[in-house]
Amino acid sequence: MSQGVYVETGSSLHRLNPLTKFVLVIPTTLILTLVVDIAVPALFSLFFLLALLTLGRVPASRLGRALLPFLPVGIGLLWTTAAFYQTRMAETPTVALELGPFQLTWPGIVYAVSIVLRVLAIYASSLLFLLTTHPTDFVLALVQQCRLPVRLGYGVMAAYRFVPLLSAELAQIRAAHRVRGVPEGGGLLAAPRRLLGYAIPLLASGIRRAQQVAVAMDARALGAQPRRTFYRRLRFSRSDLAFLLAYASFTVIVLTLLVWMGLPARLDVFSGPTMRR
Amino acid sequence: MRRLLQPWTTTEILVVATMGIAIGLIWVPWTWFYQATAAVLGPWAAHFVGGFWLIGGVITPYIVRKPGSALLGEMIAALAEMPLTPWGAIVLLAGLIEGGACELFFLATGYRRFSLPWLMGAAAFGGLAFSLLYLYPIQGWGRLAIEIQILYTVMRMAGAAILAGGGAKLIADALVPTGVLDAFPIARERRPEI
């Protein structure tokens, strides 16, 4: 099963209920979206990354590798937001840098940095979930705690298990193409055609297998009874409560600091630039 | 109408799950293509490329034509993409908005209209919802110049219509002759009545 960035260390973070870790992403995203500030998203990022390193015992190298894809996203967002920032009427823009048609102003740069940090913090919050949660556990928790219909949860898991078979399937299709003399090489136009030539048989065999599994599930009366037992039972424990409390108190402290420093004036949601320059 | 109210069969669930996972896996290299476009041509072009993320909300309703198929297809695709994408768990929120918007669009048509313009319309509507509900607050578009805001939104919608709407039709129509979709409305509507 493809596990993505999941790191197995069996730490206390791993043993939390997947939903505990998942649900944190929601208030974090909400709060960070409402706050335009540099310190708040920086503190949130720090909270999640430190939790991963200490509580999660995730090696720094693995964490670094997981953060790497953020780099191009961050750089792209940074320069475009700064370049296209619309100065408000009330502000007197101090020009920091002229780059051809673009004019970078200080408020624009500060805004861009806060947006990049916001996206980083949201990303860090989901890393806490992704690096320490096995995908199977997440589906299991959805079935057991959220009452996701068992046919749906197990169906998705069953379909997910086909993924490792894809490469063998692809090799078979290529061999079949070669036997029939389908040209392998190709120019710029041939590439998408060839891709579709592989994708359709791959999808077709996947769908055929899905229908066989569906018959097998029905034959075993999956989900026919309203109550069922589980081989592995996931529960909410005291450590889930402790972790949620730690997160809540961190959030309250950060938000109190924000208000204490007189920053609610900076809160803005859609912040429409109603005044044009 | 009766067909729409029937509960989902296990076959339908499994086929939607398989399609969703396949699409989610295509989205992973697509993310790199998206970022390369953003780096080389700029974000306006990347928003066109990003329209492809709507395909999960269009292709499954096109095949299954049942309430919930758009939301389910897009959410499963997002779930499959989640562990492998640089965006993280937030893609589930993106999937919820995109799939939910497509679902509303198909609901408004009573799950009856599935010709190319309607598929493109559903995708474009999903792209609009995604721009307004996700990109505006998270990427702080509100502070960008108004022309840029309009350009980004229009590119999102155009990319969604062409890449997701057109792509869904291309792929699903190519699957029909293989016979694996014979149990579904997409293939049934093409068979002559006996």
Is residue B186 one of the residues assigned to a domain? no
With CB atoms and an 8 Å threshold, state whether A273 touches B146: yes
Q: Does A111 touch chain B (CB under 8 A)?
A: yes
What are the chain B neighbours of A159 within 8 Å (beta carbons)?
14, 17-18, 20-21
Q: How far is CA A171 from its chain centroid?
A: 31
Q: Does A103 touch chain B (CB under 8 A)?
A: no
Written as one letter, the residue type at A113 is V
pLDDT tens digit sequence for A217-235:
999 988 888 788 888 888 8
Q: Does A237 touch chain B (CB under 8 A)?
A: no
With CB atoms and an 8 Å threshold, state whether A86 touches B146: yes
Measured CA to CA, the distance from residue B66 to residue B6 in angstroms comes to 9
Helix axes A25-34, B90-108, angle to 10 degrees: 90
Domain of residue B144 covers 8-178
Look at residue B41 and give its three-state secondary structure: coil
pLDDT value of position B193: 65
With CB atoms and an 8 Å threshold, state whether A273 touches B175: no
Measured CA to CA, the distance from residue A227 to residue B132 in angstroms comes to 42
pLDDT tens digit sequence for A38-62:
889 999 999 999 999 999 999 999 9
Is residue B190 one of the residues assigned to a domain? no
Q: Is the pLDDT of residue A270 over 80?
A: no
Is residue B36 one of the residues assigned to a domain? yes
Q: How far is CA B76 from its chain centroid?
A: 11
Q: Is the pLDDT of residue A267 over 60?
A: no
Look at residue B6 and give its three-state secondary structure: coil
- Distance (Å) from the C-alpha of residue B122 to the closest C-alpha of chain A? 23
pLDDT value of position A264: 54
Q: Torsion-angle region of residue B110: left (phi > 0), alpha (psi -120 to 50) or beta?
A: left
Best mutation target, A24, A80, A105, A129, to test chain B (most B CBs within 10 A): A80
pLDDT value of position A215: 94
Token pair belonging to B22: 């396949």
pLDDT value of position A269: 41
Nearest to B139 by CA among B90, B71, B78, B89: B90
Nearest to B166 by CA among A119, A244, A192: A192
Is residue B62 one of the residues assigned to a domain? yes
With CB atoms and an 8 Å threshold, state whether B138 touches A29: yes
Q: Is the pLDDT of residue A243 over 70?
A: yes
Q: Does A5 touch chain B (CB under 8 A)?
A: yes
Is residue B70 one of the residues assigned to a domain? yes
What are the chain B neighbours of A219 within 8 Å (beta carbons)?
none
Measured CA to CA, the distance from residue B138 to residue B131 in angstroms comes to 10
What are the chain A neighbours of B18 within 8 Å (beta carbons)?
159, 162, 203, 206-207, 209-210
Question: How crowded is residue A90: how many other Cβ atoms within 10 Å of its Cβ?
Answer: 6
> What burial letters (b/e) apply to B104-127, b meaning 16+ CB within 10 Å?
ebbeeeebeebeeebbbbbbbbbb
Q: Is the pLDDT of residue A268 over 60?
A: no
More confident residue, B141 or A100: B141
Question: How crowded is residue A171: how many other Cβ atoms within 10 Å of its Cβ?
Answer: 10
With CB atoms and an 8 Å threshold, state whether B144 touches A203: no
pLDDT tens digit sequence for A15-25:
999 999 999 98
pLDDT value of position A186: 61
Task: Give mean pLDDT, residues A94-99.
Answer: 70
For residue A111, give every residue at least 6 positions away whose Cβ sits within 8 Å of its Cβ, in sequence order, or none. A36, A81, A82, A85, B140, B143
Is residue B192 one of the residues assigned to a domain? no
Q: Does A214 touch chain B (CB under 8 A)?
A: yes
What are the chain A neighbours of B84 within 8 Å (beta carbons)?
2, 4-5
Backbone angles phi, psi at B74, to 5 degrees: -70, -40
Measured CA to CA, the distance from residue B49 to residue A138 in angstroms comes to 30
- Distance (Å) from the C-alpha of residue A260 to the closest C-alpha of chain B? 25
A274 falls in which pLDDT band (50, 70, 90)?
Answer: very low
CB-CB contact of B55 with B167 (8 Å): yes
With CB atoms and an 8 Å threshold, state whether B14 touches A208: no
pLDDT value of position A275: 32
With CB atoms and an 8 Å threshold, state whether B138 touches A118: yes
Is residue B17 one of the residues assigned to a domain? yes
Nearest to A35 by CA among A196, A258, A214: A258
Q: Does B42 touch chain A (CB under 8 A)?
A: yes
Measured CA to CA, the distance from residue B9 to residue A215 in angstroms comes to 10
Question: Which of A25, A72, A203 is the closest to B89 by Cβ?
Answer: A25
With CB atoms and an 8 Å threshold, state whether B175 touches A135: no
A101 falls in which pLDDT band (50, 70, 90)?
Answer: low
pLDDT value of position A277: 32
Is residue B102 one of the residues assigned to a domain? yes
- Distance (Å) from the C-alpha of residue B32 to the closest C-alpha of chain A? 9
Look at residue A102 and give its three-state secondary structure: strand
pLDDT value of position A273: 38
Q: CB contacts < 8 Å between A and B, how many?
A: 174
pLDDT value of position A1: 40
With CB atoms and an 8 Å threshold, state whether A76 touches B175: no
Measured CA to CA, the distance from residue B180 to residue A198 in angstroms comes to 16
pLDDT tens digit sequence for A113-163:
988 999 899 889 989 998 999 888 988 999 999 988 899 999 998 888 888
- Total number of domains in chain B: 1
What string of pLDDT tens digits covers the 194 residues of chain B?
667 778 899 999 999 999 999 999 899 889 888 888 887 888 889 999 999 999 999 999 999 999 999 999 999 999 988 877 777 778 889 999 999 999 999 999 999 999 999 999 999 999 999 999 999 888 888 888 888 899 999 999 999 999 999 999 999 999 999 999 998 999 988 876 66
pLDDT tens digit sequence for A153-208:
999 988 888 888 877 888 888 888 888 887 766 666 677 777 778 889 999 999 99
Q: Is the pLDDT of residue A271 over 50?
A: no
Give the angle B71-B38-B153 at the CA atoms, nearest 5°.
Answer: 50
Q: Does A250 touch chain B (CB under 8 A)?
A: no
What are the chain A neighbours of B148 within 8 Å (beta carbons)?
84
Q: Is the pLDDT of residue A265 over 90?
A: no
Q: Does A99 touch chain B (CB under 8 A)?
A: no
Strand ranges inside chain A, DSSP E: 95-99, 102-105
Q: Is the pLDDT of residue A91 over 50?
A: yes
pLDDT value of position B1: 60
Task: Give mean pLDDT, residues A254-268.
Answer: 70
Written as one letter, the residue type at A99 is L
Element at B92 (helix H, strand E): helix B90-108
